Amino acid sequence: MKIMRPLGAVGIAASAFLLAACGSDPAASNSSASSPAAPAASGTAQIDCGGKSPLSGEGSTAQKNAIDVFTLAYGKQCSGQQVNYTASGSGAGVKQFNGNQVDFGGSDSPATGADLEGATKRCASPAWNIPMVVGPVAVAYKLQGVDKLTLTPTVIAKIFNGGIKNWNDPAIKAVKGNEASTFPNKPIQVISRSDESGTTDNFQKYLGAAAKGVWTQGAGKKFNGGVGNGASGSNGVATAVKAADGAITYVEGAFAKDGITPAMIDSGSGGVEMTAQNVAKSLDSAKFLHDGTNDLALDLNGIYASNVPGAYPLLLTTYEIVCSKYSNPDVAKALKAFLNTAATTGQQQLSSKGYVPIPQSLQDKVLTAIKAIS
C-alpha cells in the first residue's frame, strides 16, 4: 500500500476520525476576520484561512493527541485561528454534535443509523464521515514475568466474555509463541470502557468478525462482555491496567506503553506485532460503506476477519462527521481550513503519537470531500 508522506515526510504519520457538527451553529460562534489564503505547500490543498475562531469540538478520547497536533499545525498555518476540543468519548461527541452544542464531534466509529439521521437533521443537509486518523487497538496487559504474549481472536473473545478466567488456562498456553512462557495461576482482571466509546464498538465488531460464534455479545459503544470492571476514557483503562498485575484491556495503541504491553495477534498466520507498518498492511483491503460518495465511512469487517500474513487487523478509524452544507459560512470556512491542515501538514507530526498513516488514495478522497463542504 502506498503510504502518505505529506510534505515529503518519510516517517510514519497518524490518522484519526472526528464527528463534526453541522446545521445551525452553537451560540458561541465568534467569527474572526477573513484572512488571506495561506500558500499551499507541495502535496497539500490550498488553505483558505479565516472564519470562526475558536471552532468547538467534542468526542473521541482516542484522537485527542492527534487533535492537539492538528490544532497546533492549524494555528501555525492560519495565524490566530484556534480549535477547542473536549475529549469526553465518542458517545458524548455524537450527542453534543446532534444537540447543536459543538461545531464538530469526534467518534471512533462512523455515524450510522439513528446517529447519522440525527446528524443529517442537525445539518439540514447530508452529514459525512471523514476519516482523519487511523490507529491500532491494542489488547494490552500487565502480567509479571510475561513480557511477550500472543493471543488468537478466539482466546481474546473468551477472555473478554468470561470464557477464560485465569492466566494459566491451557488455551492461552497452547497459542503458538506462548510455549516458553510460564503463566501464573492468577485471575485475569478484565478492564473495559465504562463510558460509551467507539473503541469499544470497534473492538466488539472485531471480535464478532474474527471470533464468529465465540463472541456472541454483539457490538455497540457499551461493553457487552459482562465481566471485569470499567474505567472512563482511554487513559482511564490504561491507568487501571498499570495499577493491577494480571489485568488486561483494549485500548488505542498510543496508550499501550509505560508499564502495559500490547499482545501480538495470531489470526491464523502467526503472531503479528502491533506496528504502524503491520496496521498499514491491513488497510489494503479496506472498503467504504457508501462507495462513490463523500461519506467516507470505512467498512472494516473485511479487515477484522482477514488472515493476511503480517497484517495487524485490530484497528479503528476516527472520523470528522461534518455537514455537507453549514448554515454559517464562517464555520464552514474555518472547518475546511482546519481539516485541510489536519489531512496534510498535520499528518507528518503524528508518527510519535502512535498512530498510522492514511494511504495516499484515502487522503485524496478526504481532500475531495473537504473541498465539497460549503
Distance CA 350, CA 124 (A): 34
Please tell me whether 285 is known to bind a ligand.
no
Q: Is 108 annotated for ligand binding? A: yes
Short-list 43, 171, 132, 152, CA closest to 318: 132
Is 198 annotated to bind ligand? Answer: yes
Q: What are the φ and ψ backbone dihedral angles of 98, each rounded to 5 degrees?
A: -65, -25
Residue 60 assigned as binding residue: yes
Those residues with Cβ within 8 angstroms of residue 364's Cβ, 6 or more apart along the chain or in another chain: none
189-193 vs 229-231, strand pairing mode = parallel
Between CA 98 and CA 263 the distance in angstroms is: 37
13 is in an annotated binding site: no
Cα separation, 103 vs 84, whole angstroms: 10
Q: Which three cell numbers stand for residue 54?
A: 475558536
The answer to whether the annotation marks 361 as part of a ligand binding site is no
Cα 5 from chain centre: 20
Q: Is 199 annotated as a binding residue?
A: yes
Query: Cβ(43)–Cβ(6) under 8 Å?
Result: yes
Cα–Cα dist 327/167, whole Å: 55
Nearest to 202 by CA among 284, 134, 290, 109: 109
The answer to whether 374 is annotated as binding is no
> DSSP of 30-82, one letter per residue?
-EEPP-PPBPPPTTS--B---EESSEEEEE-STTHHHHHHHHHHHHHHSTT--
Name the binding residues.
Answer: 60-62, 90, 108, 197-199
Name the binding residues for phosphate.
Answer: 60-62, 90, 108, 197-199
